[in-house]
Amino acid sequence: MLQPTVSLREVTFETVRQITALDVTDRQHPYVAPTAVSLAEAHFNPGAWFRAVYAADQPVGFVMLLNPDAPGALVRSPIDPQSIALWRLMIDQRHQHKGYGRQTLDLIFAHARANLRTKRIISSYVPGPHGPRAFYLRYGFRETGQYRANGREIEISKDL
């Protein structure tokens, strides 16, 4: 069976409730903020760029970047000036293990190459048994040896 094409679309007034209703499993809640919190943070940070993840016409997730070079960008932890941050990535529990997370990262890297002056994407993860570490490492991210979020998250990086 052919996988639906994944796309990134703006969150609109008409779609915001669908997007905020997307959720991870109970075991994954400690590892990713709710989409409603992410949207609120994005609206107060001029450096945020966010999109809903769609498979065909079905919303399946949410992704958000932070460009520290954007005018007025708010950054809690220093970010290498040649990097942008993958701030959030969430695929709804009903749509995990279908390749949508990987396809979303492909689109994010293509967006960064085409639109942003950057050499790498950094992110971080909360360590634990149900966290996303293995997913990111399989994609090619590497742990940097640095920590974020007051030492609670392990920083990862992947060159463009």
Task: Sketch the domain layout of the chain as residue ranges.
Answer: 6-159
Q: Are 51 and 9 in contact (CB under 8 A)?
A: yes
CATH of 6-159, one of 1.10.3720.10, 3.90.1200.10, 3.30.1490.20, 3.40.630.30: 3.40.630.30
pLDDT digits (tens, 9 = 90+) for 40-57: 999 999 999 999 999 999
- Cα torsion 133, 31, 145, 141: sign: positive
Q: Rounded to an integer, what distance in angstroms lies between the CA atom of residue 49 and that of residue 69? A: 12
Q: What is the pTM of this model?
A: 0.94
Q: Rounded to an integer, what distance in angstroms lies between the CA atom of residue 95 and that of residue 111? A: 23
What's the average pLDDT block by block, 10 residues per block, for the chain (160 residues)?
Answer: 84 97 96 95 95 97 93 83 93 96 97 89 95 97 92 94
The strand pair at 83-91 and 153-159 is best described as unpaired
pLDDT digits (tens, 9 = 90+) for 79-106: 887 899 999 999 999 999 999 999 999 9
